[in-house]
Copies of this chain bind each other. A is one copy, B any other.
Amino acid sequence: MASDVFVLLKTYNNSTKVDLTHDLSAQRAAVDRVLSAFRSICGPDGVSLGEAVREQHGKDESVHKCRPPDVVVFPRCVEEVSALAKVCHDHNLPIIPFGTGTGLEGGVGAVKGGVCFSLRNMDQVLDLHPEDFDVTVEPGVTRKALNAYLRDTGLWFPVDPGADASLCGMAATSASGTNAVRYGTMRENTLNLEVVLSDGRIIHTAGKGRRPRKTSAGYNLTNLFVGSEGTLGIITKTTLRLYGIPEAMVSAVCSFPSIQAAVDSTVQILQAGVPIARIGEEEREKLKIICDFKNSCENHDAYSTDVCVPLSRLPQIIVETKEDLLESRLTGPIAGHVGDGNFHCLMVVDPNDPDEQHRVHLFAERLARRALAMGGTCTGEHGVGLGKRVLLQEEVGPLAIQVMQGLKETLDPKNLMNPGKILLGLKGKRLFLGV
Contacts and interface: CB of A to CB of B under 8 A. Distances in A.
A204 B131 contact: no
Contacts of A221: 396, 400, 403-404
A214 B154 contact: no
Interface string A399-424: 11001101111110110000000110
Q: How large is the interface on A (under 10, 10 to 19, 20 to 34, 35 or more residues)?
A: 35 or more
Interface in A302-343: 308-313, 340-342
A211 interface: yes
A226 interface: yes
A130 to B, nearest CB: 8
Q: A interface, by DSSP: helix, strand, loop or mixed?
A: loop
Number of copies: 2
Among A154, A180, A214, A270, max chain B CB count under 10 A is at A214
A216 B377 CA distance: 8
A204 B411 contact: no
A44 interface: no
Contacts of A211: 310, 375
B227 A244 contact: no
A413 B396 contact: no
Interface string A1-13: 1111100000000
A35 to B, nearest CB: 24
The 10 A-B pairs of least Cβ separation, nearest first, read A174-B216, A244-B271, A223-B223, A132-B310, A215-B377, A2-B273, A212-B308, A131-B312, A413-B435, A207-B396
26 contacts: A1-B5, A2-B274, A131-B312, A155-B271, A184-B184, A185-B214, A187-B220, A207-B396, A208-B397, A210-B372, A210-B376, A210-B395, A213-B310, A215-B380, A216-B377, A216-B382, A216-B383, A219-B232, A219-B404, A220-B226, A221-B396, A223-B224, A224-B224, A406-B410, A407-B410, A410-B431
Interface of A: 1-5, 129, 131-134, 154-155, 173-176, 180, 184-185, 187-188, 197, 199, 201-221, 223-224, 226-228, 232, 243-244, 246-247, 267, 270-275, 308-313, 340-342, 371-372, 375-384, 388, 391-392, 395-397, 399-400, 403-404, 406-411, 413-414, 422-423, 431-432, 435
